[in-house]
Amino acid sequence: MNIRKRTVLENEVADRVVQYLDDNFRFQKDVAEAIGSTQVSLSRMMNGKQPPSIELIKLLIDNGMNYNWAKTGDGDPDAVNKVKPDDNMIAELKILCVDEQDVNPETRGRKRGKINDPESQAPFNNRLRTYINTYVSENQTEAANILGLSQTSLSRFFNGKSNATARTIQALTKHGLNLDWASTGNGSPKKGLDKKADEKHISEEVMRLQIQVKLLKDANDKIFKFMKEQADRIAKLEAHLRGK
């Protein structure tokens, strides 16, 4: 197998992932559709302008790429994985695709500034936000503490200023995120939840929201009643003044 020229990110792990894609998949359009991306975004990955996405890594592993070879360069790229890589292992590979090289602090920021492509990653990002709000916390400060992440980084992600970082993805998979669901929308958002358990969780969430709506309605009724009482009082005072 020919060794691919170093990418712009100068990252050997990313190089091997892209090399495997280049050697085994002929049509970029089909790959882009399979990972829910655009051909432009996929082309950027192949040209080294942004690191391979987690969806691409998962697709390649599902289609025969050896995890250990991608991670270390040892062995046969087509060797059967002795253990099927789980979500944490895939998240780790994604982190290595971003962080393995590029140690120059003067160039790191400029290079990584090219990584984010929020529009092409929107479905994946939106599912991660849904997971955080539903299963971690709706409070960003609390969610950041639970996940062990920077509040600033999480805030930028929720505000759409960046994609989820590799560390955010890894923290979420450790928390219980189902990476299949995050990538495709299929299945349960949380690992270990069967359909009935997921339905129960959703039902409980609906009930909780219904209670909140009722409390808000009751509060609104009290405010409306108070405003009406004050309006009546003002009207009586004004009538009394006119009577004088």
pLDDT digits (tens, 9 = 90+) for 159-175: 887 777 777 888 888 88
For the beta carbon of residue 101, count every other beta carbon within 10 angstroms. 19
pLDDT of residue 222: 86
**Which of 37, 69, 19, 5 is CA-nearest to residue 184?**
37
Paired tokens of 79:
């060797």
pLDDT of residue 200: 67
pLDDT of residue 185: 78
CA distance to 174, 227, 237, 240, per residue, from 223 (Å) = 45, 6, 21, 26
Q: What is the DSSP letter of 198?
A: H
pLDDT of residue 132: 93
**Which of 90, 86, 110, 112 is CA-nearest to residue 99?**
112
Q: What is the DSSP letter of 118?
A: T
Task: Please tell me the CATH code under which domain 118-193 is placed.
Answer: 1.10.260
pLDDT of residue 66: 92
Ranges under pLDDT 70 in the chain: 1-10, 98-121, 193-201, 244
pTM over 0.75: no
How do residues 51-86 score in pLDDT, each as one tens digit? 888 888 988 998 889 999 998 888 888 888 888 888
CA dihedral 78, 82, 84, 87 (to 10 degrees): -100
